[in-house]
Amino acid sequence: MSQSKIFVSIIAVGLIALVGVWFWRPATVPTETANESAIQSPYLGQETRGIKALSQADIEGLLAGAGTPFGGMAKPAELNGYPGPRHVLDAVEAGEFDLTTDQREQVEVLYSKMRSEAITLGTQIIDVEQALDNAFQNGTINEAFLEEKIAESTDLYAQLRILHLKYHLYMVDVLTPQQVAQYNELRGYSSSDPCQNVPEGHDPEMWRLHNNCE
């Protein structure tokens, strides 16, 4: 067979293969994104919650008196070097943090009081949010009821946030500056001496006063 005939045969085989791939290729599966509405809700799936405004984690945190609901109740304190009593006790139990007998008694009292008050407020917040959700769900909602429940919810939330924050504030009066620095290191925030390194945006004199720096 001549070279020209061989070349033509190779081209023919190649064309047949391409045609076969074209006809046998799988149908394009439409992507999920292509089917999404321009206004698809970021809350998708939350319509099945018992209380639409609260996640299960929020509810559990409120009932336990924890500071975890709503993205963190005490972040301004926690992330600015004011330890939380529960975390300090957890570190002690883990053998990572030392307290004197007197300090431990003080921290335990602070935590017990904070948790008890937080559970009371958290339970009330759940009740208010449940009532508000029920009114929307069964169609009995009206403006007067809405204003009443939102006012209640706002007041309770403020009380709960103040509660968590003030107990972090109390902790700097119980711990030494060295213990505060150790706490922040254990939490992964900072390994530096708070008396030597004043965070940007803080008044140096007030920062050193809060951290009991000499």
Find, among 78, 83, 113, the residue nearest to 99 by Cα.
Answer: 83
Q: How confident is the model at residue 205 (pLDDT cuts 50, 70, 90)?
A: confident
Tell me how far CA of residue 142 lies from CA of 53, 125, 151, in angstroms: 18, 20, 14
Q: Is residue 69 part of a domain?
A: yes
| Residue 134: per-residue pLDDT | 97
pLDDT at residue 152 tops 50: yes
Question: In which residue are the tokens 């559970």 written?
Answer: 119
Q: Is residue 99 part of a domain?
A: yes
Q: Is residue 39 part of a domain?
A: no
Q: Is residue 203 part of a domain?
A: yes
Burial zone of 214 (CB within 10 Å; 0-12 exposed, 13-18 middle, 19+ buried): exposed
Domain count, the chain: 1
Token pair listed for 97: 């943090």
d(Cα 135, Cα 151) in Å, to the nearest integer?
A: 16
| Residue 27: per-residue pLDDT | 52
Higher-pLDDT residue of 19 and 163 is 163
The mean of the pLDDT values for the chain is 85
Q: Is residue 55 part of a domain?
A: yes
C-beta of residue 83 within 8 angstroms of C-beta of residue 182: no
Q: How confident is the model at residue 207 (pLDDT cuts 50, 70, 90)?
A: low
pLDDT at residue 162 tops 70: yes
d(Cα 177, Cα 190) in Å, to the nearest integer?
A: 13
Token pair listed for 31: 């992507």
pLDDT at residue 201 tops 90: no
Q: Is residue 194 part of a domain?
A: yes
Q: H-type helices in the chain, by residue range?
A: 3-24, 32-35, 56-64, 75-78, 85-93, 101-138, 143-174, 177-187, 204-210
pLDDT at residue 214 tops 80: no
Q: Is residue 11 part of a domain?
A: no
Find, among 116, 113, 124, 108, the residue nearest to 65 by Cα.
Answer: 116
d(Cα 120, Cα 129) in Å, to the nearest integer?
A: 15
Q: Is residue 148 part of a domain?
A: yes
pLDDT at residue 64 tops 80: yes
Tell me how far CA of residue 150 lies from CA of 36, 78, 128, in angstroms: 33, 28, 8
Structural domain that includes position 129? 51-210
